[in-house]
Amino acid sequence: MADLMENEVFKAFTTYAAIVILKMMLMGPLTGYYRMTRGAFSNEEDVSRKSAEDKKKLLRTHPEVERVRRSHQNDLENIVPFVVIGLLYALTAPELSAALLHFRIFAGARIFHTVAYVGALPQPSRGLSWILGMLVTFSMAYRVLSTVLLL
């Protein structure tokens, strides 16, 4: 493991993987913040101490809460594959410059995707950032498969 941590590509991967995982983890508290400030809860136990009339008002969906929640769901669908494929990619010994390009583009695309989703920026900003992140993951997957299949 110590040898692996001396590898510049692996260090870059762990750095950018940690960044996007932390970003994804922060979406949970952000969803909770939006639920609290917008007064929109999805579970009965979240409003159990309220009156019956208050419960009716609070057990509802809110567009801004749903926007943050969907952004979090999108992170789960994209960051988990990036981490798995990125680890395999890092193990194929790519050039550091190519690896950094992949990792930085993905991290930037995911951060921008969240800003575009939560901030309701006009399309195609969110769509393009999603596509960019997916292309990076597919590019790394191609490198992994082409390396493994050529052995």
DSSP-assigned letter for residue 121: P
CB atoms < 10 A from the CB of 26, how many? 13
pLDDT tens-place string over residues 98-129 = 999 999 999 999 999 999 999 999 999 999 99
Spatial neighbors of 108 by CB under 8 A, at least 6 apart, are none
Indicate which CATH number applies to the domain containing 119: 1.20.120.550
Name residues of the chain where pLDDT drops below 70. 1-2, 55, 151
Domain count, the chain: 1
> What is the domain extent for residue 64?
2-149
What are residue 41's DSSP bridge partners? 59
Interatomic CA distance for residues 9 and 47, integer angstroms: 48
Global pTM reads: 0.90
